[in-house]
């Protein structure tokens, strides 16, 4: 596991993050525990702010990767905008006091209630995903006598994930309006014909954990070709071009993503050059990073509960969490790296597999990790768990979800309380006829 952000080994020989000894964190807050390195999270926000916002572009933090009230406060303080994809994420942003003038509302099937909530809150942009949604937003905006500002999510016919990058003429996706078959153009015309909608720009999101910059530039060109067409046909000027999120991060050996500055250089330059070539005004560039801001700043701390060796087969090291706090390995086969937080420098002589405690054979956090042979009671730190871990956490097997602490300058502050057993049954209801009779 790479030491990043404020991670280091302290004088006691333990892993330290944000100036806090992880052994103390485990003692004070229990395990499993999500640890968020505040300085690192802020540094990632600043890298985007410096590369985009300072050049007339805008970085929008994708809240779906990790959103809590405190995270909203930090993103606000760092001056980034915020993407939400649900009523729940919007509610979190509202409750944190995040300025709605910097909120973008996504989602491929927003409900009428969610749209009403967003109209009332005054979100900055609605990103439209279907013709039905265009109708719904127009109707609901009319009801409250508002003009909703709209971006259209397009499917440019590019899909990129890590090293795979495909251009397909026709893309099969639940998201967005397809460009190659003319639906994107129809969607532009539809929005332009609606009285309560104002079309501000175009959007696409071509994938996640992307290691190449070319697909971002290619997507920008395809979006701008739609902008040019709409300018020629309707005189519409595309003010904003939103190229989505997706910049990859380093999870494990071999992952070598481009930098935030390189991403900015490529997309800003491509948009300017292409707009000039197409003789359309260069729109404002937006990106929506999630993983590359929150991911590297998070670490999960577990306690080892059992070490089981099957001779000539494998050693299973079971920890007190698993797919409930990090579903990504089970969902996508994602690879993580780890270290023993209470003896991070010891020689890594063993090859062991880290198992979760959920009743599912697929609940394996790491296969074949190189570690000092773990013992019961050791603390295992898994790195780069800030994105899509807490956000995807679940209560399978009725395990309460872990707490999250924000660490900075030797101080650890709780930002998400550990769930209790009482929390688990809070919404359960027993109808009268099933109640246990007391005599
Ligand atoms: C998921 C998503 C993002 C964030 O993607 P990351 O890979 O976390 O950067 C941004 N925009 C949209 C529309 C998304 O669906």
Task: Give the model confidence (pLDDT) of 274-301 as tens digits.
Answer: 999 999 999 999 999 999 999 999 999 9
Q: What is the mean pLDDT of residues 59-86?
A: 98
Same-domain pairing of 262 and 124: yes
Same-domain pairing of 33 and 121: no
Residue 189 and residue 230: Cα distance in Å, rounded?
Answer: 8
Catalytic residue among 20, 72, 238, 359: 359
- 112-147 pLDDT, tens digit per residue, is 999 999 999 999 999 999 999 999 999 999 999 999
Same-domain pairing of 285 and 299: no
Q: What is the mean pLDDT of residues 151-158?
A: 93
Ligand 1 mutation target, pool 241, 246, 291, 392, most atoms within 8 A of CB: 246
Same-domain pairing of 113 and 195: yes
pLDDT band of 42, cuts 50, 70, 90: very high
Q: Given its phi and psi angles, is residue 19 left (phi above 0), alpha (psi -120 to 50 degrees) or beta?
A: left
Tokens encoding 339 = 């270290």
pLDDT band of 159, cuts 50, 70, 90: confident
Same-domain pairing of 17 and 145: no
Percent of the chain with pLDDT over 90: 93
Backbone phi, psi, residue 139, to 5°: -65, -45
Q: Is 211 part of a structural domain of the chain? A: yes
Task: Give pairs for 417-423: CB < 8 Å, separation 24+.
Answer: 418/29, 418/30, 419/395
Same-domain pairing of 154 and 237: yes
User: Using a 6 Å cutoff on CB, does residue 266 contact ligand 1?
Assistant: no
User: Using a 6 Å cutoff on CB, does residue 295 contact ligand 1?
Assistant: no
CA distances, 298 to each of 90, 283, 406 (Å): 23, 34, 10
Residue 439 pLDDT > 70, yes or no?
no
User: Using a 6 Å cutoff on CB, does residue 106 contact ligand 1?
Assistant: yes
Q: Is 146 part of a structural domain of the chain? A: yes
- Per-residue pLDDT at 168: 60
Percent of the chain with pLDDT over 70: 99
**Residue finishing a domain among 289, 312, 343:** 289
User: Using a 6 Å cutoff on CB, does residue 205 contact ligand 1?
Assistant: yes
Residue 301 and residue 26: Cα distance in Å, rounded?
Answer: 7
Q: Is 377 part of a structural domain of the chain? A: yes
User: Using a 6 Å cutoff on CB, does residue 296 contact ligand 1?
Assistant: no
Same-domain pairing of 162 and 244: yes
Ligand 1 mutation target, pool 62, 103, 152, 258, most atoms within 8 A of CB: 62
359 labelled catalytic:
yes
Residue 169 pLDDT > 70, yes or no?
no
Same-domain pairing of 381 and 252: no
pLDDT band of 161, cuts 50, 70, 90: confident
Same-domain pairing of 282 and 330: no
| CB contact at 8 A, 240 and 275 | no
**Residue finishing a domain among 289, 323, 357:** 289
Same-domain pairing of 15 and 135: no
Burial pattern 392-415, b for ≥16 Cβ within 10 A else e, equals bbeeeeebbbbbbbbbbeeebeeb
Which domain CATH number covers 414?
2.40.37.10
Which domain CATH number covers 153?
3.20.20.10
Instruction: Work out how many domains the chain is built from and give that number.
Output: 2
Across the beta sheet with 15-17, what order do the strands follow? Answer: 8-9, 15-17, 20-21
Q: Is 97 part of a structural domain of the chain? A: no
- Per-residue pLDDT at 160: 87
User: Using a 6 Å cutoff on CB, does residue 408 contact ligand 1?
Assistant: no
Same-domain pairing of 301 and 281: no
Q: Is 58 part of a structural domain of the chain? A: no
Of all protein residues, whose CA lies closest to atom 2 belonging to ligand 1?
245
Q: What is the mean pLDDT of residues 251-271?
A: 96
Q: How many CB atoms neighbour CB 427 within 10 A?
A: 6
Q: Is 131 part of a structural domain of the chain? A: yes
- 343-358 pLDDT, tens digit per residue, is 999 999 999 999 999 9
384: nearest Cα among 250, 290, 209, 247: 250
Same-domain pairing of 269 and 401: no
The separation between CA 143 and the C-alpha centre of its own chain, rounded to angstroms, equals: 33
pLDDT band of 339, cuts 50, 70, 90: very high
Q: Is 186 part of a structural domain of the chain? A: yes
- 303-331 pLDDT, tens digit per residue, is 999 999 999 999 999 999 999 999 999 99
Q: Is 214 part of a structural domain of the chain? A: yes
**Residue finishing a domain among 263, 289, 315:** 289
By residue range, what is the domain housing residue 173? 106-289
Burial pattern 149-186, b for ≥16 Cβ within 10 A else e, equals bbbbbbbbbbbbbeeebeeeeebeeebbbbbeeebbbe
């Amino acid at each position: 596991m790479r030491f990043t952000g404020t991670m280091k080994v302290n004088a006691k020989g333990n892993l330290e993050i944000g100036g806090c000894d992880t052994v103390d964190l485990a003692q004070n807050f229990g395990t499993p525990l999500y640890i968020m390195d505040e300085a690192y999270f802020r540094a990632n926000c600043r890298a985007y702010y410096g590369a985009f916002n300072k050049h007339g572009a805008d970085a929008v933090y994708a809240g779906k990767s990790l959103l809590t009230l405190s995270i909203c406060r930090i993103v606000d303080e760092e001056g980034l905008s915020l993407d939400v994809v649900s009523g729940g994420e919007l509610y979190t942003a509202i409750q944190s006091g995040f300025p709605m003038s910097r909120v973008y509302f996504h989602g491929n099937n927003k409900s009428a209630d969610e749209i009403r909530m967003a109209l009332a809150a005054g979100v900055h942009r609605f990103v439209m995903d279907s013709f039905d949604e265009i109708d719904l937003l127009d109707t609901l905006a009319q009801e409250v006598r508002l003009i909703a500002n709209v971006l259209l999510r397009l499917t440019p016919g590019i899909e990129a994930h890590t090293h795979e990058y495909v251009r397909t003429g026709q893309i099969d996706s639940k998201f967005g309006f397809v460009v190659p078959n003319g639906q994107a153009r129809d969607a532009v015309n539809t929005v332009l014909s609606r009285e309560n909608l104002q079309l501000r720009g175009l959007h696409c999101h071509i994938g996640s954990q992307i290691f190449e910059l070319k697909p971002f530039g290619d997507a920008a060109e395809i979006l701008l070709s739609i902008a040019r067409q709409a300018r020629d046909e309707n005189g519409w000027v595309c003010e904003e071009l939103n190229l989505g999120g997706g910049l990859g991060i380093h999870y494990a050996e071999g992952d070598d993503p481009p930098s935030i500055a390189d991403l900015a250089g490529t997309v800003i330059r491509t948009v300017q050059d292409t707009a000039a070539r197409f003789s359309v005004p260069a729109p404002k560039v937006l990106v929506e990073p999630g993983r590359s801001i929150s991911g590297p700043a998070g670490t999960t701390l577990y306690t080892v509960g059992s070490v089981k060796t099957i001779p000539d087969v494998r050693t299973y090291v079971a920890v007190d969490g698993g797919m409930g706090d990090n579903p990504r390995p089970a969902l996508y086969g994602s690879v993580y790296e780890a270290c023993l937080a209470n003896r991070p420098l010891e020689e890594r002589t063993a090859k062991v597999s880290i198992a979760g405690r959920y009743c599912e054979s697929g609940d394996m956090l790491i296969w074949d990790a190189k570690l000092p042979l773990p013992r019961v009671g050791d603390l295992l730190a898994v790195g780069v768990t800030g994105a899509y871990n807490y956000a995807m956490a679940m209560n399978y097997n009725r395990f309460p979800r872990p707490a999250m602490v924000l660490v900075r300058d030797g101080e650890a502050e709780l930002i998400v309380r550990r769930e209790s057993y009482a929390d688990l049954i809070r919404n359960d209801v027993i109808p009268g006829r099933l109640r246990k009779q007391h005599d």
